Amino acid sequence: MQRIIDNLTHQHRELVRTAQRVFGWLDADKLRAHRADAVYRELSSLSGILKVHLAMEDRSLYPHLVTHRDPHLRTLALRFLGERAAIRRDYDDYRARWPSASAIEAQAERFVEETRLVLGMLWNRMKMEDDVLHPEIVRAYAAA
């Protein structure tokens, strides 16, 4: 299980690095002046990393956690899984609103505002996983 946690943590670092590059573009004037192609590519990269990350959680993490013998870990896993469903839905809705660089350029101010919110949401989720969920997983598996 530690290897899975290490891989997920590595993916969190990749997500943060990519999000930082996206964040560097969050100025409406900059987006309009330099075209939004670069931020759109970074956003696509972020989505790809996130897709792999969620698939890994679905395959390698949550199936073990929701059936673990530790009731606290099961409850925590179910809570995180439920919250993740809402975050995923919000992220998918966000991405659907920004299907191209031209859509971003056309509504640059709105894109900046929404992207700040979405990146904050992802940051908070990763922080909770790193600070709460992952340590509980390590504790429960060490005790087993």
pLDDT digits (tens, 9 = 90+) for 118-143: 999 999 999 999 999 999 999 999 98
Question: Tokens 């894109």 belong to which residue?
Answer: 111
Binned at pLDDT 50, 70 and 90, residue 34 comes out as confident
- pLDDT of amino acid 143: 86
- The answer to whether residues 38 and 104 touch, using CB atoms and an 8 Å cutoff, is no
Q: Tell me which residue has tokens 């609103």.
A: 97
What pLDDT does 69 receive?
95
75, 133 in Cβ contact below 8 A? Answer: no
H helices within 24-143, ranges in order? Answer: 28-34, 37-56, 62-65, 71-97, 101-106, 108-128, 134-143
Alpha-carbon dihedral angle through residues 107, 110, 112, 113, given to the nearest 10 degrees: 180
- What is the rounded distance in angstroms from the CA atom of residue 64 to the CA atom of residue 66? 6
**In Å, how far from its chain's centre is CA 3?**
19
pLDDT of residue 114: 98
Q: What is the pLDDT of residues 38-65, one digit of tens each?
A: 999 999 999 999 999 999 999 999 999 9
Angle ∠(81,99,53) on CA atoms, nearest 5: 30
Q: What is the tens place of the pLDDT at every residue in 85-124?
A: 999 999 999 999 999 999 999 999 999 999 999 999 999 9
pLDDT at 6: 95
